[in-house]
A and B are shown apart, each in its own frame.
Chain A
Amino acid sequence: MAVRKFFVYVLSALLVLAFTAGCSKKSDGDKGSTISAEASSTENAGFGVSSKKMTITLWDIATEDPTKSTQESAVERFMAAYPNVTVDNTHIQNDTYKQKLIISMSSGQCPDMYIHWGGGPMNEYIDSGFAVPITDLMNEHCDVPFLEAAIAQSSYKGDIYAVPFGGIGGSGVFYNKTIFSKLGIGVPQTIAELEAACETLKNAGYIPFSLANQNKWTGSMYFMYLATRFGGVDEFNAAVDGSGSFESPAFQYAGEKIQEWVRAGYFPDGVNSLNTDDGQDRQLIYTEEAAMMLHGSWQAGSMRNDNEEWYVNNMDYFRFPNLASSDKPQNIVVGTSIGNGFSFNIHDDQEKLDAAFILATQFYNDDTYNNEQLATGRIPSIVGMGDTIEDHCMQKIWADFSSASNVQLWYDQYLPPAVGETHKNTCQEIFGLTKTPAEANAELNKAMREN
């Protein structure tokens, strides 16, 4: 009997453990500034939601607050304004979302509107007939002044296919300003200065860069920035369209530089086994073992949420430094200008498409929505939005983004999916020193040509 009781206790303890482990992912920042942004929705004559009874199925990945409440409130406001329309909103966990969407599409159950990240996968959805062009709707019935880059990223072959709503995402270097000033390091302007800073940090016992590269896209940022600083976006675009190659000097330079830095000990031990989803890279920053972290802008919100006081006192941001020897524009940002977009799989029901479009542009992307976005550290892809943000890192990220001559979309979003995966694998092997840059780039180029 005692044994059985013990068994029950152990089992329930285990259950609780497994459950909390599954739920322990922290939510992003919850408070911040309340800012009023310019009005974005006005009435259009003759355009609106018809009084027909309709159900719109909507899939997104807002499983956690604050995005969950922000997005659900947009849907609720819409349904309150138009009681004849029911929005059937399903939240799907991020990691499994793309697979579920593919299965739903192949089995003819594709939702009416769904979230995506633009780039290669969006093009696949469009080519397969699961997104309708909304160019006319956007031009005639949308008053939201979206950033041009955001519209460009929502377009494919001359038509617009998506309404942006997730906000911009840039990337750059977060650094511990306390450590920097203690060691007398200034903000590096060039890659040579960055390397000098790394050397100083290394000698003082710090890990220069915190990086969790099990996820692969994290290390990819180093590769993308180095290649972009060397060859601009042109060399990348040429490699993609076949007029150039991934074996060209920019990618060679990126691969070699990374391996040089790995050998010099600029990255943490076991870099390829650290996981950024578990915040293991931020952890090294918090314990002040590491001094810098090249990462996406969303990390500002996460760090503020984890420990606001420490973050404000210690962390700052600088853009990825210039490569002095390059004649290409040095102010290119690697990131995304739409974050997320909605595409519509509504083919023969104009009234329903109009309703869904109104939901996406006048309820998502309205003042209430945008203010909630800003309050949680996200900057909507709308002109002027970032000017009012209060977070000191986000201000700099926004300034970089606004003045960038171009935005290099994340390779793994831009490239066709199979090629994007190859890039992530070969890039991880570059960090692991298991492939030479030449081998890795040749493999990437082969994947691109075969696609």
Chain B
Amino acid sequence: MKKNASLVQSRQRSVRIAATVFLAPVILIMAIFIIYPIVSTFSISLFDWNGISKNREFIGMENWKMLIHDKVFWFAFKNNLTLMVCSIGIQIPVAIALATFLDAAGRKVNLFKVAWFLPLLMSSVAIGFLFSYALATTGGIITTFSQALGGGKVDLLGRAPQALYAVISVVAWQYIPFYMVYFLAGYGNIDINIYEASIIDGATRGQYFFHIGLPLLSPMIKSACILSLIGSLKYFDLIYAMTGGGPGTATELMATYMYKLSFTHFKMGYGSTAAAGMFILVTGFALMMQTLLKGNGSSNNE
């Protein structure tokens, strides 16, 4: 007995040591590049600091009070929510449709697979440039069509409500390929026998999709929703390249606002508060979405 116990003990110890050794680098990297920045963002948010000066003044929760009353921040948050709803509502259904088409049509349509994948390979800044020309009021594609049909010039990026939606559609153009590939991989994981069995049982393509394909894909759809949610709440680059948050603050997002506060307004303390606020909001939303989806998921399975 005694010998056995010590054997168990020593095995446990050696597992523990091995685990520590193998995990140490990861933990170290996470601590330096993830945990430390988050902690320091929160601590900087308690200071009045321009980002470069040696003196920073501790002001407690002043920045946080200011953030809660900051109309621009909450307006930016609202824009983020719009972006989030539109992203999930547009990108995921379209991506499923494209993936289903590619999966059903098989090798014949490999050309489409390549073509539809391309937007994902371009850098956001290049896409931003491309579309600011395409959507330009003078000489842009939409304006040219409109003028050919006898309409006037169309100003998509320079006016308040439509600028946001114009940018949202470009974001969708950029990210649909990502989810398409994701769902395509999901289809790849579905056993071919299931498909064959359903066809033998007389299911139509539509029935197969709605009663077999979609339910089997649902875990992936859920994680895609969460990815898209987090992505849209912290979105930055394309907006920054295309409109810089303008006109006025019409397309300002939390991330672009945070960036401007920190680096162009010389308010690193307040910018960090915005970053920390954003962190809290994004985490909160992600957790909420996860529990919501989990609830649904378990009821479906049982």
Contact = CB atoms under 8 A, between A and B. Distances in A.
B114 A21 contact: no
B153 to A, nearest CB: 4
Interface string A254-278: 0000000000000011111111001
Nearest to A7: B114
Interface of B: 50-54, 110-111, 114-115, 118, 121-123, 125-126, 129-130, 132-133, 135-138, 152-160, 163, 243-244, 246-250, 260-261, 263-268
Most chain B beta carbons < 10 A, residue from A121, A269, A272: A272
Given A216-B246, A417-B264, A432-B159, A106 B138 contact: no
Nearest to B270: A418
B105 to A, nearest CB: 14
| B-side interface mostly | loop
B52 A125 contact: yes
A54 interface: no
Contact of B246 (A7, A98, A99, A428): A428
A3 interface: yes
A426 B248 contact: yes
Contacts of B133: 278
A203 B157 CA distance: 27
A45 interface: no
B136 A18 contact: no
Contact of B158 (A271, A278, A425): A271
A270 B163 CA distance: 11
A2 B130 CA distance: 28
A124 interface: yes
Contacts of A268: 137-138
Interface stretch (A126-134, A305-313, A387-395): A126-134
Given A214-B244, A273-B137, A273-B247, 11 more contacts: A22-B125, A99-B264, A130-B52, A269-B138, A269-B155, A270-B138, A270-B157, A272-B155, A273-B163, A283-B138, A432-B160
Most chain B beta carbons < 10 A, residue from A102, A273, A278: A273
Contact of B266 (A21, A121, A270, A271): A121
9 contacts: A17-B126, A124-B266, A272-B247, A273-B155, A278-B132, A418-B266, A425-B249, A428-B248, A434-B250
A442 to B, nearest CB: 13
B111 A6 contact: yes
Given A3-B110, A418-B266, A428-B246, A14 B121 contact: yes
Nearest to A215: B244
Contacts of A435: 248
Nearest to B265: A418
Interface size class of A (residues with CB under 8 A): 35 or more
A272 B158 contact: yes
A431 B133 CA distance: 21
A21 B128 CA distance: 11
Contacts of B111: 3, 6
A444 to B, nearest CB: 13
B107 to A, nearest CB: 9
Contact of A11 (B121, B123, B250): B121
A280 interface: yes
Nearest to A110: B52
Given A10-B114, A10-B118, A269-B138, A432 B247 contact: yes
Contact of A124 (B52, B114, B136, B260): B52
B247 to A, nearest CB: 4
Interface string A92-133: 000000110010011000000000000001001101111000
A421 interface: yes
Contact of B53 (A10, A129, A272, A425): A129
Contacts of A105: 51-52
A421 B265 contact: yes
A73 B110 CA distance: 54
Contacts of B136: 270, 273-274, 280
B248 A434 contact: yes
